[in-house]
Amino acid sequence: MTRPANPDLKIKIKSLAVRDIVKKGCDSISMRDIAQKAGITPTTIYYYYKNKVDLFEEIKRDAMDSMDEYIISRISKSNSYEKKLDTIMEAFMDWSLGNPELARMVFDKLPNRIDNTLYSKSYYKTIEIIEEGKKCGEFKVKDSELDVTVGTASMYGLALILISNAYHPKYKNRINEMKRRLIKMFITQIKNN
């Protein structure tokens, strides 16, 4: 007879794994260490996750779901595709800065398995908005997927600099201005491509 799953234990395992990933990186983590920290046997952890990759993918998927829920819930109801794109980008920055550990899980710390199932819903929603804006003449783009990829990389790059406090000290009180400048630069490029 199969034992019933314990959702609280699964949450505890993921939480401990996230802490270790942040401290040590993925390569230095073992399932045995996580099991020991959780107060369970190695056999028990393998009941929930067949291996480390399986655990990491679930952590990444959970983080992406959190990000997507936040971003998609904030998309402007405006008829302007520019306004919708602006709110998506602003929400992406806000989520990244408000959840720095999760942002690093998604974009930096966890291995990236490239396939369509692991990309975020907000990524595809942004492509959809740009394509709709293109159809009505609001945007002039050649490759919306490439533009969204470059835009995401740029936004995360700025978020990482802000999270790490790696910007010039004279901009300490101008963080919002930096965010707005990058968003404006991206949208101007999309409009005039």
Largest pairwise CA distance in the chain: 64
pLDDT at 1 over 50: no
Percent of the chain past pLDDT 90, that is, above it, reads: 69
pLDDT beyond 70 at 133: yes
Average pLDDT of the segment spanning 146-155 = 94
Query: What is the CA angle 19-22-25, rounded to 5?
Result: 115
Q: Do 15 and 84 belong together in one domain?
A: no
Same-domain check for residues 96 and 32? no
Q: For 120-145, b where at least 16 C-beta lie within 10 A, e where not — what string?
A: bebbebbbebbeebbeeebbebeebe
Q: What is the mean pLDDT of residues 102-129?
A: 78
Residues 45 and 67 in one domain: no
Range of the structural domain that residue 170 is part of:
60-192
The pTM score is: 0.85
Number of domains observed in the structure of the chain: 2
Does residue 116 share a domain with residue 74?
Answer: yes
Of 68, 69, 55, nearest to 12 by C-alpha is 55
Task: Report residue 109 as tokens.
Answer: 């710390």
120: CATH: 1.10.357.10
Do residues 31 and 55 touch, judged by C-beta distance below 8 A? yes
pLDDT in tens, 33-57: 999 999 999 999 999 999 998 998 8
Encode 118-156 in three state secondary structure.
HCCHHHHHHHHHHHHHHHCCCCCCCCHHHHHHHHHHHHH
